[in-house]
Amino acid sequence: MISFPKSKINLGLHILDRRSDGYHNIESVFYPVSWLDALEILQSEKFSFQITGLQVPGSPEDNFCVKAYQLLKKTFDLPPVQIILLKNIPLGAGLGGGSSDGATTLKMLNKLLELNLSVEELKNYALKLGSDCPFFIEEKPCKVTGRGEVLENIAVDLSGLYVQIIFSGIEISTAWAFKELSSLKESKLMENLEPSSILPIESVIKTPVSEWRNHLKNEFEDVVFEQYPQIANIKKMLYDEGALYASMSGSGSAIYGLFEDPPQSKVNSNFRQFTGRL
């Protein structure tokens, strides 16, 4: 069985407050994008896991695909399988590639081994893998709140537009980004500076995409662009090339632009990129 895990982009991202469990409450909209990995699962005499394509640091036991198999194995008497992952979605880009791989593994094992898990049950298992994993069970545009696990279907349709995603290769630590953004907000409060006026994402995305530029914000840009001005330059380049809207995805560092016509941006050949129709 072969499947193709998708990636996602964030349409806006607000960090609301720190929770008692150490996580942060967020507000965002996840939108699925067809920058894909490839995942094959075969029944086998013994369990094995293999990665090709992009290099993935860490031990195999840390990979979301292996974690998904081991998670289901705690409940079900799973037979051994062979999992082969062709990694194409870049890591540390804010595109959710690893989370998508894990969620897709759950779906594939459910179908291949006839576990008869419902969509909601699959989402519950996915949440045990990571906060944004449940989104990839259905891969529909969703308003995302809580620590990323509260999903609400939302009527936003970008079909007909083109997306260009550019990843410079700079990997951003999510923990670092949260820490820096929290420090920035605290310093503004101590200096009695007015916080930036941020409109609710749900109201902004109801307006035409051409109006998002001044109102739909990923707050992580405030700290990432300061530390890595070359990432900010990519966003500027996309606007210079005619993007209706451009933003960083997640905690970065991939930058995407939405276009009415196929984009013609001249991208550094060392950067990984994806261009496609939504």
Instruction: Please give the positions annotated as active site.
Output: 8, 132
| Among 225, 247, 226, residue whose Cα is nearest residue 235 | 247
Residue 250 identity: G
Question: What's the order of all strands across the beta sheet hosting 7-18?
Answer: 7-18, 24-33, 142-145, 150-153
Q: What span, in angstroms and rounded, lies between the C-alpha atoms of 188 and 274?
A: 37
Q: What span, in angstroms and rounded, lies between the C-alpha atoms of 202 and 66?
A: 35
